[in-house]
């Protein structure tokens, strides 16, 4: 056997591995394309979850099969053969673990969203559940390789203090996020206001930060530890319905009872046209704060579905009340002062 033939024989495993990997990746892409179309055509969504969860782990299966195909054309020693066989098995176990972790995390998130249990379907929840599955898979791999776990745990225990000190801020944010999720005082989708003046919808609670989308549609990222220590007003607890107070002033020549009746009548008429306005609890008018310097001051109290609905409701009701007052001859006065000049 000359040098060229020996070079070709040594190159053949790499060639078979590359060709097998390319062909299998093409087959994988075509297969998942068909599976995705089939899953989208069904009425239930569990198959969509399974297909999406197995997309990335399937690459490791393709990799393992390609290694096995190339392994058939090698003349390695028995030691290397054992090493390659174990490596392939480890890859397969890892792929299986990752697939189960993806499916389990996705199914749990789906169940949490549909069930009323004290757990939020957030990024932190997904990371914790997926991490548990991956940890089980790592323990299986270590057991398969014959590696004892006890020395590893001992080493982690010795170095745990140093790691905890180095990652103090990260760990405090992690445990603060878990505390927020367990207490459910702040949930994904709630509208909250923090004592720093930040207010908006909770978009996600991750392992390090809480993301709040403000009404101008920008995202504020707050560390979980700071979130846990802040005074928070949750406008979605106990229910999202919100009382809105609209101040209304009329002249002293107006009849207070007539003013109240007109405003309540206008709110009832508007209830069928303003979808954000609700009539349960019933709207009320209070003669508060009462006697002003230039006017009789009333407060109209109505209820809206959620926090952001108060702005279009206030705008629409003010326009309707203003036009109704003009028809009823009820005057909205300008600020005025009565000046008495005393002659000596």
Tell me what pLDDT residue 106 has: 76
Distance, CA of 130 to CA of 343 (rounded, Å): 88
- C-alpha 342, offset from chain centre: 69
Among 266, 186, 198, CA closest to 228: 186
Measured distance CA(313)–CA(281) in Å, rounded: 16
Is the predicted pLDDT of residue 4 greater than 70, yes or no?
A: no
Q: Which two tokens stand for residue 209?
A: 């930060």
pLDDT computed for residue 73 by the predictor = 66
pLDDT computed for residue 119 by the predictor: 52
Whole-prediction pTM: 0.57
Is 304:246 a contact under the CB 8 Å cutoff? no
Question: Taking the domains of the chain in order of start, what are their residue ranges?
Answer: 3-147, 174-234, 242-328
212 vs 256: CA distance, rounded Å:
43
Distance CA 58, CA 94 (A): 11
In the CATH scheme, what is the code of domain 174-234?
2.30.30.60
- φ/ψ (deg, to 5) at 301: -115, 115
Task: Write the DSSP symbol of residue 143.
Answer: H
Residue where the block lists tokens 């310097």: 293
Assigned fold of 242-328: Alpha-Beta Plaits (3.30.70)
| More confidently predicted of 72 and 6 | 72
The answer, yes or no, to whether residue 14 has pLDDT greater than 80, is: no
The stretches of the chain forming alpha helices (DSSP H) are: 3-41, 46-54, 57-71, 78-114, 123-144, 149-166, 168-183, 224-229, 256-270, 310-328
**Structure-token pair, residue 40:** 């989208």
Q: How confident is the model at residue 75 (pLDDT cuts 50, 70, 90)?
A: low
Beta bridge partners of 290: 297
Q: What is the pLDDT of residues 290-313, one digit of tens each?
A: 888 888 999 999 999 988 888 999
Beta strand 209-214 with 242-250: parallel, antiparallel or unpaired? unpaired
Nearest in space to 56 (alpha carbons), one of 3, 111, 98, 110: 98
- In the prediction, which pLDDT does 298 show? 93
More confident residue, 115 or 88: 88
Helix (H, G, I), strand (E, B) or coil at 245: strand
> Taking the mean position of all CA atoms in its chain, how far away is CA 274?
29
329: phi then psi, degrees, rounded to nearest 5: 75, 25
| 132 vs 276: which has the higher pLDDT | 276
For residue 29, give the DSSP letter. H
């Amino acid at each position: 056997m000359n040098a060229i033939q020996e070079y070709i024989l040594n190159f053949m495993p790499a060639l078979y591995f590359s060709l097998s990997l390319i062909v299998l990746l093409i087959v994988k892409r075509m297969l998942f394309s068909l599976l995705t179309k089939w899953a989208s055509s069904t009425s239930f969504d569990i198959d969509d979850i399974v297909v999406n969860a197995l997309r990335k782990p399937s690459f490791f299966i393709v990799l393992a099969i390609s290694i096995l195909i190339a392994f058939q054309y090698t003349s390695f020693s028995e030691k290397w053969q054992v090493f390659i066989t174990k490596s392939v098995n480890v890859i397969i176990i890892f792929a299986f673990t990752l697939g189960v972790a993806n499916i389990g995390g996705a199914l749990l998130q789906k169940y949490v969203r549909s069930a009323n249990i004290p757990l939020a379907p957030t990024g932190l929840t997904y990371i914790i559940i997926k991490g548990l599955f991956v940890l089980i898979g790592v323990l299986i791999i270590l057991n398969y390789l014959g590696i004892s776990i006890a020395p590893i745990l001992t080493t982690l225990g010795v170095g745990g203090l140093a790691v905890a000190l180095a990652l103090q801020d990260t760990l405090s944010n992690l445990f603060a996020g878990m505390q927020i999720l367990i207490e459910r005082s702040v949930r994904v989708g709630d509208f909250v206001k923090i004592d720093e003046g930040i207010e908006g919808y909770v978009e996600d609670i991750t392992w390090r930060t809480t993301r709040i989308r403000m009404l101008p549609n920008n995202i504020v990222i707050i560390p979980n530890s700071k979130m846990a220590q802040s005074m928070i007003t949750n406008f979605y607890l106990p229910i999202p319905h919100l009382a809105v107070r609209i101040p209304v002033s009329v002249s002293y020549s107006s009849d207070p009872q007539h003013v109240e009746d007109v405003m309540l009548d206008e709110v009832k008429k508007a209830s069928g046209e303003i979808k954000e306005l609700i009539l349960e609890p019933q709207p009320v008018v209070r003669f508060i704060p009462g006697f002003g310097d230039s006017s009789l001051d009333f407060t109209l109290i109505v209820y809206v579905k959620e926090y952001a609905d108060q702005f279009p409701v206030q705008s629409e009701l003010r326009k309707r009340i203003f036009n109704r007052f003009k028809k009823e001859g009820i005057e909205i006065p300008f600020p005025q002062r009565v000046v008495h000049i005393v002659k000596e």
